[in-house]
Amino acid sequence: MLRIEGLSRPFGGVYAVRNVSVDVADGELRGIIGPNGAGKSTLFNLISGHLRPTQGRITLRSERIEGLSAHERARRGIAIVFQGARIFRGMTVRENVMVGAHARTRHGFLDAALRTPLHKREEREIRQSTDAALERVGLADWADRYAEALPLGQQRTMQVARALCGEPALLLLDEPASGLRARERHELARLIEGLRGGGLTIMLIEHDVQFVSNLADRLTVLNLGEILAEGAPEEIRRNDDVITAYLGREPAP
């Protein structure tokens, strides 16, 4: 699904991501972990097109995409759920989620102004896909409420529904469990498991190693912008370099 080769991006002479190479298989759930400042969110922004690399290649399903804009990558199947709840206040949950479907529409401003058949058909399709996404994540009963009235956990779930409306091939989740209570984290984990079970390819950034280890097929560990380790969760938990990076000390003998 995704191949990253030698990806680098400095800021002011300091590399946030340096010579990173990752292969993500179709249908895989790849966890990305590492200490604060390791370069995890920068990597996601490079994949999604919100930042441009100074070096390296990004290939999505055999197509080079590192030169494409964020909206062009969204059209090709990349969706990102950013850290923190990003909502449109004063809009309902359904309206917030509908925004995610517009990346794949073909009608323009003139079509919308004139209410052309193309516009009407696509708006009808967006409404249907929105309701399907809300049903999929368990928010159908909240569709007509204002988004800001949702608890934090459900706001995060709403963001996932918005991403699903774009019919992504690759879903990037940047610390979706941050700030959630135990019950909300459990519900989020069940949702992510269900999406992976449906064949969606997912990359997940998370500080909680236990949370991501329970979900991921493989883990990639970043430290100071470079790959420190990669492997199955049980391998990573025993890796001395990873223990040192997280705890700031040598592992016990």
Beta pairing class for 218-223 and 201-205: unpaired
Structure tokens at 10: 């400095």
Mean pLDDT of each 10-residue bin along the chain, 253 residues long = 97 94 97 92 96 97 95 92 82 90 59 64 82 92 93 91 91 91 91 91 92 95 95 92 74 52
Nearest one of 156, 133, 136 to 204, comparing CA atoms: 156
Q: 3-state class of 34 per DSSP? A: coil
Alpha-carbon distance values, 51 to 96, 142, 208 (Å): 24, 34, 25
Burial 8-19 (b: 16+ CB within 10 A, else e): bbeeeeebbbbe
For residue 4, what pLDDT is reported? 98
Q: In the 8-state DSSP scheme, what is residue 251?
A: P
Beta pairing class for 201-205 and 170-174: parallel
**Beta pairing partners, 227:** 222
Q: Note whether 76 and 65 are within 8 A (CB).
A: yes
Q: 3-state class of 172 per DSSP? A: strand
Nearest one of 171, 222, 173, 201 to 38, comparing CA atoms: 222
d(CA 128, CA 165): 10
Domains of the chain: 1-77+171-176+201-253 (3.40.50.300), 81-167 (3.40.50.300)
Structure tokens at 102: 């517009």
Tens of pLDDT, residue by residue over 22-54, are 999 999 999 999 988 899 999 999 999 999 999
Q: Note whether 202 and 169 are within 8 A (CB).
A: no
Q: What are phi and psi of 21, to 5 degrees?
A: -130, 130
For residue 159, what pLDDT is reported? 92
- pTM exceeds 0.85 for this model: yes
